[in-house]
Amino acid sequence: MAMAGEPTKGTETGKITLWGYHSSSCTWRVRLALGLKDIPFEYKPVNFAAGQNKSEEYRKISPLGYVPAVEVDGAAFADSMAIIMYLEEKFPDKKPLLPVDPLARAVVRQVVYLITANIQPLQNVGVLNEIEALLGADARLKWAQDHINAGFTALEQILKKVSGKYTFGDELTIADVVLLPQVENANKRYKVDLTPYPIIARIGKALLELPEVQASLPANQPDYPQ
């Protein structure tokens, strides 16, 4: 097997190779989308502790050295949402994760971008490391909590209008794919009190009951520390 970060040669047509890290919420999104759409893939861990994400080989796949990244049909590209939209467009008949109606799609995307562009980037490890270096460990946690709470306050207002059993009505969408990792990180990693966000908490709990979600959990990945 190739070292994490080494491009595969002679990739089988249609075979999807996912490069990721067990605790990366962005990798989690892609794992969950693949699981919900029942798309087989090969998982190749990228060991951040060993610096494999910074290797020249891996940078050929993911120029910034971020996860996740995929290789498929001789091409390689990174970014969780680029990958998820590729899956949605490449496999439209395998459990569609976007509504058909354009307005409904816009609402789903609003939720997606609220999380992926306005919450998660402000509390990712790189940003928090910079905050801690400048202001100390206490500021690190407060920064993450403040930005998650601001985002969740807005998200809760949106969900009051559009949620059902899940984020958008009773059907699973990309919004659920990005919501779950954010809720779990907020609650477990950053100790955010979810009491003010009953809809977000309820949907997160409902999602955790799904077998596809259980299979996607960080603790169930081969590179999770034992």
| pLDDT on residue 12 | 60
What is the average pLDDT across 173-179?
98
What is the average pLDDT across 133-161?
96
Domain locations in the chain?
17-95, 102-213
Look over the chain and give the mean of its residue pLDDT values, rounded to a whole number.
Answer: 93
| pLDDT on residue 13 | 66
- Percent of the chain at pLDDT above 90? 88
Task: List pLDDT tens digits, range 97-135.
Answer: 999 999 999 999 999 999 999 999 999 888 999 999 999
What is the average pLDDT across 6-32?
81
Lowest mean pLDDT among 17-21, 27-31, 81-85, 136-140: 136-140
- Percent of the chain at pLDDT above 70? 94
| pLDDT on residue 69 | 97
What is the average pLDDT across 201-206?
98
What is the average pLDDT across 23-42?
97
Distance CA 222, CA 100 (A): 36
What is the average pLDDT across 198-212?
98
What is the average pLDDT across 10-15?
64
Q: What is the CATH number of domain 17-95?
A: 3.40.30.10
| pLDDT on residue 7 | 39
Task: List pLDDT tens digits, range 55-66.
Answer: 999 999 999 999
Interacting residues of 79 by C-beta distance below 8 A, sequence separation 6+: 26, 66
State the fold for domain 102-213.
Answer: Glutathione S-transferase Yfyf (Class Pi); Chain A, domain 2 (1.20.1050)
